[in-house]
Structure 1
């Protein structure tokens, strides 16, 4: 297995599972939170999509699907177009409302861009520095591992919240 196949497989698992998390849920169910400080399914899926879109586009030197493909306009969220959810307040989390189709469509667009990008990678590419704002500077390999970790963690959280939602009396 080469590096692009490894990354395609790791991120492809999220791509396969994510639609099932939002399937059959209405807007209110997607926005449901176990308590006022918790994250909703809608926020978790939007956030994991935004992080993958932002981080991979930044590393690839390409445009984000969020802006280039009009997803920001379709979502119509009351945030700056470059917002991706990091360190949002509980009140802001509650403002993320979207349909399951919209959430799934955006993630699929992001996942397709990511898959196309990682298919081009060779092992030496992973050592390229993509972010000098950190000490030590962040390499492409570290950034992509971070993305894999982030999207998997939030997918699992969304699956858990769905389980809680389905068990409501």
Structure 2
């Protein structure tokens, strides 16, 4: 699968829509909360709270194994120390939690469906009341064959 097909399959957008999204991401900064979503080898989906150095200093991380269930996605979002920021503290509106959940589900689905996916980093992800925008994404693919899900083996 080519990188272009992967991008189109994952985001479900046309080339023109992708160009508009890139223009929107490069526009003036918008209010919202930045986060980091990552998938690493072994199908571990991680969500790091505020992104950047704040995440490392506060050790604000959560991880679950793909494929994610609705409960897993809910736990990834609510177990963060910075979760109250997402729910709209001090009169500010909450971020679009449905869009953030959808993004986590799509990342989980991509990790489960594509054995070639070695790593995917979305850093930063801007979560705002109007939606979620991935400002930078990096995907690394390796040649692999699908494994039999019923075959158990020792590592």
TM-score normalized with structure 1 length: 0.30
Greater relative contact order (CA < 8 Å, ≥ 6 in sequence): 1
Q: Higher strand proportion, which one?
A: 2
TM-score normalized with structure 2 length: 0.32
Q: Higher helix proportion, which one?
A: 1
